[in-house]
Amino acid sequence: MVRELEYRLTPLWDGRKIPGMQVNIREDAPEIKKGGKLFTILENLIRYPFTCPREEIVVEDEKGEVPVMFEQEEKFLTRSQAAYVLRDTKGSVSLSYTCHFHEATGNPPYDMGYEGSGANGTGTAFLPEFTADRYRIRLLWDMSKLPEGWEAVTTYGEGGIDIEEASSALLYCYYYIGKICREEKENFGFYWYENPLFDGEAIGKWTMGLYEKMAGFFGDEGKTFRIFMRGNDRGQMNGMALPRSFILLYERDKKYGIDDFAGLPEGLLEEYDRDNYSWHNHMLTTLPHEMVHVWTTVPDEPFGNMTWFVEGTAEYYGLLLPYRFGLMSVKDALTVLNLRALRYYENPFADSDDYEPMQRAFGDSELMRVHYGRGFFYLTAVNRDIRRASENKLCLDDLVMKILECQKSGIEVTNELWNRELSAMLGCDSRPAYEDMRRGRLFVPDGTFLGDNIKVKETEGKTRREHRTCTVFQFTGEEKV
C-alpha cells in the first residue's frame, strides 16, 4: 500500500502581484520513530534558496506540534536541510508554511518568483521531499485569494495533480499561476501571460507542430508535454528542461514573431566576434534543443559523466529534426553548424579533459558549453562511422534508439553501454575515438547527417580569450539531397 500525500496550495495576492503562497501538506500516517527523517528541503539548488525560512515550517500530528531538528546535507551543487523528528509521530503528519516569492530570475529558473501579476517556477523552491520511494500524490489549488479568472497550470496540466510517484516529482515540476493564455491540443500545452510582445498563438502552433513530429520520431506514448514562457530583462534567450516540460526564457522587451522561430536573422555568422563573444541564442535553436531533452535525457551522475550525451543528443536532434521535417532551411542549418564549430573549436577549454571536476563549470559559461559542442560533433562523426560500417543501412538514429530502448526497459545508460552497442555496430572497438572526445583531443566532425552534399574542411582559428592558434572546421553545401 502506498502512503498518501495531500498538498493544498493557496497563492496570495497583495493587489499588484503574487507575493507568496501558503502551503499545507498532509502525509498519511508515516509513523516515524524519534530521530527518524521526515522530509528534506533543498536550501540551495545551484543558487536559489528555498522560499520559506525552515524555522517557519510548522509540523503537527494527532498529538500536536512535532518538534524537529534540521541537519545540513551537501550534495553536488545542492545544499539541503533534512528534518528529523524529536519524538515518535502519531497518525497523519501535516506541514504548513508560507513561502515568500521574489522577482522571477533568469536561467536556470530553479526558483519560484512573481512575473508581472503572475508567478511561476519550480517546486524545488517551495516543496519538501519526503522519504518513501512512492506516494499517492494529490495536489489541490485554492485560488480564492486571487482575482477572478486566474488559473494554475503545472507540468501535469491544468489545476490539480493526481499521480503515483516519488514526492520529488512535484519538485522537478513547473508551476504557472496567473492570467494565462494558451495553445493546447490533447496533452500538449504552450502557455504565456497576456499581452506579450510576441505572437503567442502563431508561435504556440508552430511549436505544437514541431512537438508532434518529434514525438513521432522518438516513439512517444502521448504523455503530457508543456512549455511555459518566462520573460526576463537580462537579455536571456534560453531554457531549462524538466521532465515532460520546459521553461523558455525570452527577452521581455523584444518583439518575437513567428519568423524568429522559423528562421534565423541574416548575417548571424558574420556577427561572430571572438573578442566580444557572448552566448546569444535564438528561438529556432533553443526551442528544439530543449524539446529533445524530454526524450534523450539520461541520469548524469556524478554530474559531467553523461553530459556529453545529454547535451550532445539535444544539439544533434535539435538541429537535425527541424531540418528533416522541413521546418529549417539548408542555409539556416549550415549557419547553425558553422556557428557551433566556432563556438566549440575556438572555446578556450576545447582541449580540456572531461574527467576534470565539473564543479567550476558553473562559474564559467565557456567551460559549461564545452560539452555541448563536444557531444554534438562527436555524434556527427559517430553517424558517419556507423553509415560507413553498415554501408548506409544504419545511422546514429539506430544507435540512439537502441540506447533509449535500454533506458525504457530499466537498463542504466552508461558510457560502458554506449561503447558496447557502438562497437557492435561498427564491428570494431569504439573506445579509442570515444576517449579522444572525452580527453578533449581534436577529432574531425562531419556534416553528412544533414545530407551527403554537406562537406567539411579544416581551417585555422584562434581560441577565445587566449588567442592560441587552433583548428576549426567549416561546413559548406547547398541543396538538400
| Interaction site with Zn ion (CB under 5 A) | 311, 314
In whole angstroms, how close is the CB of 318 to Zn ion at the nearest point? 8
In whole angstroms, how close is the CB of 119 to Zn ion at the nearest point? 25
In whole angstroms, how close is the CB of 306 to Zn ion at the nearest point? 12
The alpha carbon of residue 447 and the mean position of all alpha carbons in its chain are separated, in whole angstroms, by 26
Give the whole-angstrom CA distance, residue 467 versus residue 347. 10
232 or 286, CB closer to Zn ion? 286
84 or 172, CB closer to Zn ion? 172
Where b means 16+ CB within 10 Å and e means fewer, 359-395 reads: eebeeeebbbbbbbbbbbbbbbbbbbbbbeeeeeeeb
Closest residue to Zn ion, based on beta-carbon distance:
314
CB atoms within 10 A of CB 439: 12
Here the cell at position 5 is 500525500
Give the whole-angstrom CA distance, residue 329 versus residue 332. 5
The kind and range of the H/E element at 121 are strand 118-122
In whole angstroms, how close is the CB of 298 to Zn ion at the nearest point? 13
Give the whole-angstrom CA distance, residue 17 versus residue 279. 32
In whole angstroms, how close is the CB of 76 to Zn ion at the nearest point? 18
The alpha carbon of residue 89 and the mean position of all alpha carbons in its chain are separated, in whole angstroms, by 38
177 or 247, CB closer to Zn ion? 247
Give the whole-angstrom CA distance, residue 430 versus residue 438. 13
264 or 310, CB closer to Zn ion? 310
In whole angstroms, how close is the CB of 314 to Zn ion at the nearest point? 5
Give the whole-angstrom CA distance, residue 208 versus residue 193. 18
In whole angstroms, how close is the CB of 399 to Zn ion at the nearest point? 20
Angle between helical axes of 365-389 and 431-438 (0-180°, round to 10): 160
In whole angstroms, how close is the CB of 185 to Zn ion at the nearest point? 25
The kind and range of the H/E element at 214 are helix 200-217
In whole angstroms, how close is the CB of 293 to Zn ion at the nearest point? 6
Phi and psi for 127 in degrees, rounded to 5? -125, 145
285 or 463, CB closer to Zn ion? 285
DSSP per position, 54-108: GGG-EEEETTEE--EEEEEEEETTEEEEEEEESS---S-EEEEEEEE-EE--SSS
204 or 312, CB closer to Zn ion? 312
Handedness of CA 252, 254, 258, 264 (dihedral sign): negative
In whole angstroms, how close is the CB of 311 to Zn ion at the nearest point? 5
DSSP per position, 299-345: ---STTSSHHHHHHHHHHHHHHHHHHTTSS-HHHHHHHHHHHHHHHH
283 or 433, CB closer to Zn ion? 283
Candidates 94, 6, 97; CA nearest to 53 is 97
128 or 312, CB closer to Zn ion? 312
In whole angstroms, how close is the CB of 307 to Zn ion at the nearest point? 9
369 or 384, CB closer to Zn ion? 369
260 or 311, CB closer to Zn ion? 311
In whole angstroms, how close is the CB of 41 to Zn ion at the nearest point? 26
306 or 386, CB closer to Zn ion? 306
379 or 426, CB closer to Zn ion? 379
Candidates 378, 472, 368; CA nearest to 432 is 378
CB atoms within 10 A of CB 265: 12
Here the cell at position 194 is 497576456
The kind and range of the H/E element at 153 are strand 151-154
Do the bridges between strand 225-232 and strand 245-251 make them parallel or antiparallel, or are there none, so unpaired? parallel
